[in-house]
């Protein structure tokens, strides 16, 4: 069994909702890549990052991931570690470029130092952020119901995402 499958199975057992979110985010990344006619290597990189972006939540206690209440400082700290842990796992099971993209999937947001090599792939970082947030907004979470299309559009546009791409996702995902 490939190592990525071992981690996928571990994530499925640890927190099924995160496992499903990773699968859906990968699918949204593939849809975006095809829609934008990205070169196949970029689409593959984006899809791999979509799948692996939350693997670091294996290190987050289930009670934090499943909390229906706002997170306290401990819970927030645990959640904020997951991009780094995800990038370590991605480096083990995939490639360094995937790990670098996974590391920044919450930027701007969780604090960390800039990785200059990613400046040339800034569009992929933004597309991964969009795919991740799009799926999170349309999905039920322990702390919130799924948002409707108009709410999703308003939130994503408020975060500066491209309106045409947001509308495309709302119509096609």
Q: pLDDT tens digits for 154-164?
A: 999 999 999 99
pLDDT of residue 5: 95
Note the pLDDT of residue 142: 87
Answer whether 56's CB lies under 8 Å from 42's CB. Answer: no
Domains parsed from the chain with CATH numbers: 3-146 (1.10.3210.10)
User: 31: closest CA among 171, 151, 157?
Assistant: 171
| Most confident residue range from 31-35, 94-98, 106-110, 123-127 | 31-35
d(CA 46, CA 29): 6
Residue 115 predicted with pLDDT over 50: no
Q: Please, which pLDDT band fits residue 106 given cuts at 50, 70 and 90?
A: confident
| DSSP conformational letter for 144 | B
Question: What pLDDT, in 10s, does the model give residues 121-144?
Answer: 568 999 999 999 999 999 999 889
Taking only the tens place, the pLDDT of each residue in 2-40 is 899 999 999 999 999 999 999 999 999 999 999 999 999
- Is residue 117 scored above 50 in pLDDT? no
Question: Residue 111's pLDDT band (boundaries 50, 70, 90)?
Answer: very low
Q: What is the pLDDT of residue 9?
A: 98
Q: Does the global pTM surpass 0.75?
A: yes
């Amino acid at each position: 069994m490939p190592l990525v499958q071992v981690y996928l199975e571990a994530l499925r057992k640890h927190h099924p909702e995160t496992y499903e979110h990773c699968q859906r985010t990968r699918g949204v990344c593939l849809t975006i890549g095809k829609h934008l006619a990205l070169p196949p290597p970029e689409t593959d990189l984006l899809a791999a990052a979509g799948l692996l972006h939350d693997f670091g939540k294996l290190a987050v206690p289930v009670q934090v991931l499943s909390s229906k209440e706002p997170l306290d400082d401990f819970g927030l700290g645990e959640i904020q570690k997951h991009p780094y842990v995800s990038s370590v796992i991605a480096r083990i099971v995939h490639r360094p470029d995937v790990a670098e993209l996974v590391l920044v999937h919450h930027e701007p947001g969780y604090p960390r130092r800039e990785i200059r090599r990613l400046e040339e792939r800034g569009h992929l970082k933004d597309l991964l952020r969009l795919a991740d947030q799009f799926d999170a907004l349309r999905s039920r979470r322990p702390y919130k119901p799924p948002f409707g299309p108009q709410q999703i559009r308003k939130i994503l546009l408020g975060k500066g995402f491209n309106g045409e791409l947001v509308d495309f996702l709302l119509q096609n995902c």
